[in-house]
Amino acid sequence: MILDTLENAALYESVHPLLKKAFDFLRNEDLSKLPAGKIELQGSDLFVNVVDITGKTADEAKMETHNEYIDIQVPVGKAETMGWIAASKLKNETSPYNAEKDITFFADKASNFILVQPYEFAIFFPQDGHQPGISEGTYRKIIVKVKY
């Protein structure tokens, strides 16, 4: 898991071959004005989901993992708390792996919580269990999916 600001994104571009393209998009677009929906940057290998979500409490937010994709999550409208735990520690699966959506849900709760400010980003790898969406009200969020 990585937490930082978009101004420092270049520090992480060498971690994966598609991260530079992902961060170029995030730095060069007006994220608040993107239309909701999916934007393909490189087919199924690199795409963006622009979503307007309603925040949840920590008890309501679901723990999840992805096998095939890295998530870069950027709250735009307001700060969002995101939970984290090593995926190897997750034991209480509530929904089995859905290959079409590349997601597994768990009843486990995070061991750590981070407050991600607008235009900061959190990167979650397949080794990271994450519990996103902890906030109040409705806000815009950008989720970049990077094929692992």
pLDDT at 77 (0 to 100): 85
Q: Is the pLDDT of residue 120 over 90?
A: yes
Q: Is the pLDDT of residue 39 over 90?
A: yes
CA distance 66 to 56: 20
Domains (ranges, CATH) in the chain? 2-147 (2.60.120.370)
Identify the bridge partners of residue 117 per DSSP, sorted by sequence position.
none
CA distance 93 to 116: 26
pTM of the model: 0.96
pLDDT (average), residues 29-43: 97
pLDDT (average), residues 90-95: 97
CA distance 137 to 148: 32
The amino acid that residue 101 corresponds to is K
CA distance 40 to 59: 33
CA separation (Å) from 14 to 18, 23, 96, 107?
9, 11, 32, 34
| pLDDT bucket at 7, cuts 50 / 70 / 90 | very high
pLDDT at 25 (0 to 100): 98
| pLDDT bucket at 129, cuts 50 / 70 / 90 | very high
* Residues of the chain above pLDDT 70, percent: 100
Question: How would DSSP label each residue in 39-102?
Answer: EEEETBTEEEEEEEEE-B-TTTSPEEE-SSEEEEEEE-SS-EEEEEEEGGG---EEEEEETTTT
CA distance 96 to 61: 17
Smallest CA-to-CA distance from 139 within 76, 47, 49 is with 76
The SS3 of residue 61 is: coil
